[in-house]
Amino acid sequence: MIEKEDILSNLIKENLSEIPSTINKKTSKNNVKFEYREEYYQIKQIIDNYIDKEETHKRFLVLPGIRGVGKTTLLYQIYEYLFKEKNIPINQILYLTCDDIDDITECNLREIIELYLKNHHQITPRMLEKKIFLLIDEAQYDRNWARIGKILFDKTENILMIFTGSSALNLEDNADAKRRFKKILIPPISYEQHIKLKYNIDFENNSEDFKNLLNTGNIEEIEKREFFTKTLLSNNVEYTENDWRRYVLYGGYPVNYNETDISDIKDNLVEIVEKVIDSDLKKIKSMSDENKANSNRTIRYLALQSSNDTSMDKIANYLKTSTSNVKTILDCLEKTQIIFHCEPYGSSSKRTRKSWKYYFATSSLKNALVSSMGNPNKIISQYEGILLENMVAGKLHQFITYNKEYTLHYDSNKKGNVDFILHKDFRKPVPIEVDRGKKDKKQIKEAMNHYKSEYGIIVSNKTEKIESEDNVIYIPPKSFALL
């Protein structure tokens, strides 16, 4: 009978010997290298500082992200960088995917790592004198991953660990581990990243131009940026105008890049949501079986709403449960990164009294869920307007995630309210309206007057390019997505 230690030893040996020779297949297609996500460069800088400058305070990285966003590819790209560019010996880089281990035997990362150090370095963590890199994919299969990372962090400065996994990693409540690890969220890809990854078109960094627009209301630089991006797209023979609509309906997840059948793409997106609920929520000890079922119903309830203004009481009545329980469910679903919330703009008391709005991580998740249940929306233009609002919300949510000096709210003003309010420090807020099919500026002007804003933004397909008129800035949806 083969002992468990022998099985794990063989697995470690296989990974150390086989991954270097197969890494090219994992990071390219038809000998064309996959482009890098923004997060790759952030991790690369941390690695460079660790190796070259002996900066050891960031050596426990946690990369949670909803399934299908490309975490595994990212980890392989990091492996390739260590091996080919930093010249780290292959026996000092251990890549493991915990779902494979879990298929063979119960995943125990501590046991595996100690076995690796003993067999291939004849040493314990405390005695290490050379740098070791642990790249652990699907870490959520070991419930103790955070505790193991914390123990290794405390025992040695010569191990840099990267744990990637589903959104379950974002549910970690180990306070001691949280103080030690650096979390880098891996969100669905933006349209700008989508263009880069799929068509190898690099728009450089557009966020600074967008921040300049928000700070000044001046569209000169952003007009140049729009012209530049349009030129690059028109000169690419593979890019078609249909790509934009396809992204809004089905995009954000590289796992679907090789799929051509729309039904398969929608099924994959629905499966992403179902796996998050079925697998990731199991990691929460306080989540009962009843509430796991309620989470499934809540997601579908939110998907079918034409308005994102969600009443806790309505959901509670729908689920036949308490509002406090609904709050728990929504909080857990947010941590899995399926949805995010937007609070009302105003005083703290207003934020407490008013309900929150909930949006899906991408418009494609909402669209897939709605399609799977039978779309109740009879007018396609109205439905596309709902998806467009979700897309804009997702873009703004990612923006404030990377630019923490900004906050995002919805407009709770009863008269003539707009969709979003973007605010920074003590500056005047910037109202943003999403309006498919109209160029009406009545609502935005009322919001500008109410909040004493110097300018406002309308995201609308009624202009072909970015324009400014009477302190109202009009941005076509695709141009906005590429900012």
Instruction: Return the domain boundaries, the chain.
Output: 4-186, 192-481
pLDDT at 205: 65
- pLDDT of 389 above 70: yes
- The mean per-residue pLDDT over the stretch 322-331 comes to 91
Strand pairing of 456-459 and 430-434? parallel
**C-beta of residue 128 within 8 angstroms of C-beta of residue 156:** yes
- Do 16 and 120 meet the contact criterion of CB atoms below 8 Å apart? yes
Which has more pLDDT, 346 or 287? 346
175 CA to centre of own chain: 23
C-alpha–C-alpha distance, residues 423 and 444, integer Å: 15
Range 4-186 classified under CATH 3.40.50.300: yes
- Encode pLDDT of 50-91 as tens digits: 999 989 899 999 999 988 899 999 999 999 999 999 999 999
Q: Which of 77-91, 105-119, 326-340, 432-446 has the highest mean pLDDT?
A: 77-91
Cα distances (Å, whole numbers) of residue 60 to 65, 113, 177, 179, 392 = 16, 15, 9, 10, 33
According to DSSP, the residues that pair with 161 across neighbouring strands are: 60, 134
Helices (H), 305-425: 312-319, 323-335, 348-353, 363-373, 380-402
Beta strand segments in 83-217, E: 93-97, 132-137, 159-165, 182-183
- The whole-number pLDDT of residue 282 equals 73
Backbone φ and ψ for 379, nearest 5 degrees, come out as -105, 115
CA atoms within 13 A on the CB side of 283: 27
Angle at alpha carbon of residue 460, lines to 226 and 355, rounded to 5°: 120
Q: What is the pLDDT of residue 357?
A: 92
Mean pLDDT of the chain: 89
User: In the chain, what is the greatest distance between 2 CA atoms, to the nearest angstrom?
Assistant: 80
With residues binned 3-state (H G I as helix, E B as strand, rest as coil), the percentages for the chain, rounded to 5, are: 55, 15, 30
Mean local confidence (pLDDT), 454-475: 93
Tokens of 352: 């407490």
Q: Name the pairing type of β-strands 472-475 and 456-459.
A: parallel
Higher pLDDT, 407 or 174: 407
Q: What is the pLDDT of residue 1?
A: 45
Mean per-residue pLDDT, 252-260: 87
What token pair was written down for 392? 């804009």
Average of per-residue pLDDT across 44-53: 95
The CA distance from 168 to 71, in Å, is 14
CB 70 within 8 A of CB 186: yes
pTM: 0.90
What pLDDT sits at residue 33?
85
Among the residue ranges 27-36, 226-235, 265-274, 355-364, the one predicted with the least confidence is: 27-36
